[in-house]
Structure 1
């Protein structure tokens, strides 16, 4: 399990689990200032003007208005947010880069690899998702932890799976011993609107009741031998 992040504290990147951090950082920046995210996604604003011949050329520093300077400051805000989220050795690798977009892209290449490498990683995680099944003697909680890790891994690479598909996948990942419960859920619930956490709660309740019945059965068998 991961430790939850404060909504006012930058998600810290320690060099591990980059896809998770990237998603958390993206949401943090967007919720703080969407213009800052634009600078990371699209690159810094280049201020232009027309010269005497009508051609577009970059503005010189002395030609910039106060509004121009505020626009340029957005890239610096983005850099500041990124740099403050890095441990020292990661910061040292990108500290000389002046574009927030370039910093972000550098991290992606370093920790996710090139596009070919990323496609390979996505393929491996997708295979894990497609082949996902509840393991023998695995609890619902542990199964859901494994499932969440796979889904979050895909999400970190931009592969978003809709809620109803996640519900169906998890439901049909249960073994034959859960057939009765699965059928009851399918008949009683609308799988298109059933939330994943609601499904897990239902499975956990059934697991507790099932364990209780098994414990009681063992007690009865033990009594009969006395």
Structure 2
């Protein structure tokens, strides 16, 4: 729309418009028109919270400066949030009582939050993290997966499927204690 120069550079206002030549007044009028048009387009594309901050801006250049200040602050918040997410990702361990499905939901949530804050994790890194953080009952399947697969090429979905299949086999052979099983064990003691 040929308005970017208004956003970046603005235009020069003059104290005494009467002292300007007709050509200069026409150019000033055209610049004001472009600036208003650019400001309108900015208003159309920003969030309400940002609009409230820039609504009193007198021109596009001033609005741009306020937006930059706002988003630079948000960038520092993103960095802090990303640091916390990295720490949470690294500390994550699957408890014995948790299912593979719930554990993968936790991991996916953290990975998605990291992505929305600017850090994309490779599948291989996530797969390696999962394999390191499983409880001991998964040691056999982890060894089998590492031996029979190229970990760097294994997708998260494939890993989840393999682990869920193994979990089903374990639960069929050794069902987790349910309320009725606990009652039977208690009555037998």
Cα 1:186–1:82 change in 2 (3 A) is same
Instruction: Note if contact 1:140-1:200 (Cα within 8 Å) is conserved in structure 2.
Output: yes
SS of 1:177's equivalent in the other structure is helix
Spell out, residue by residue over 1:126-165, the C-alpha distance to the aligned partner (whole angstroms, 9 max, x if none).
2111111112301111111211222223223212222211
TM-score, normalised with respect to structure 2 = 0.62
* Root mean square deviation, CA, Å: 3.9
Alignment of 1:81 with 2:45, yes or no, is yes
Identify the match of residue 125 of structure 1 among 85, 96, 103: 85
Distance in 2, Cα, partners of 1:61 & 1:102:
24
Alignment of 1:136 with 2:96, yes or no, is yes
Please report how far the alpha carbon of residue 209 of structure 1 lies from its aligned counterpart in structure 2 after TM superposition: 2.4
* Deviation beyond 6 Å, 4+ runs, structure 1: 72-75
Alignment of 1:62 with 2:30, yes or no, is yes
Alignment of 1:201 with 2:161, yes or no, is yes
Please report how far the alpha carbon of residue 46 of structure 1 lies from its aligned counterpart in structure 2 after TM superposition: 4.5
Residue in 2 aligned with 1:93? 52
Identify the match of residue 177 of structure 1 among 119, 122, 137: 137
Residue in 2 aligned with 1:156? 116
Cα 1:185–1:103 change in 2 (3 A) is same
- Larger gyration radius, structure 1 or structure 2: 2
Instruction: Note if contact 2:7-2:64 (Cα within 8 Å) is conserved in structure 1.
Output: yes
Residue in 2 aligned with 1:106? 70
Instruction: Note if contact 1:79-1:100 (Cα within 8 Å) is conserved in structure 2.
Output: no
Please report how far the alpha carbon of residue 101 of structure 1 lies from its aligned counterpart in structure 2 after TM superposition: 8.0
Distance in 2, Cα, partners of 1:154 & 1:93:
28
Please report how far the alpha carbon of residue 169 of structure 1 lies from its aligned counterpart in structure 2 after TM superposition: 0.9
Distance in 2, Cα, partners of 1:184 & 1:143:
20
Cα 1:202–1:47 change in 2 (3 A) is same
Instruction: Note if contact 1:75-1:100 (Cα within 8 Å) is conserved in structure 2.
Output: no
Alignment of 1:146 with 2:106, yes or no, is yes
Structure 1: give runs of 5+ residues left out of the alignment.
1-34, 49-58
More helix by share: 2
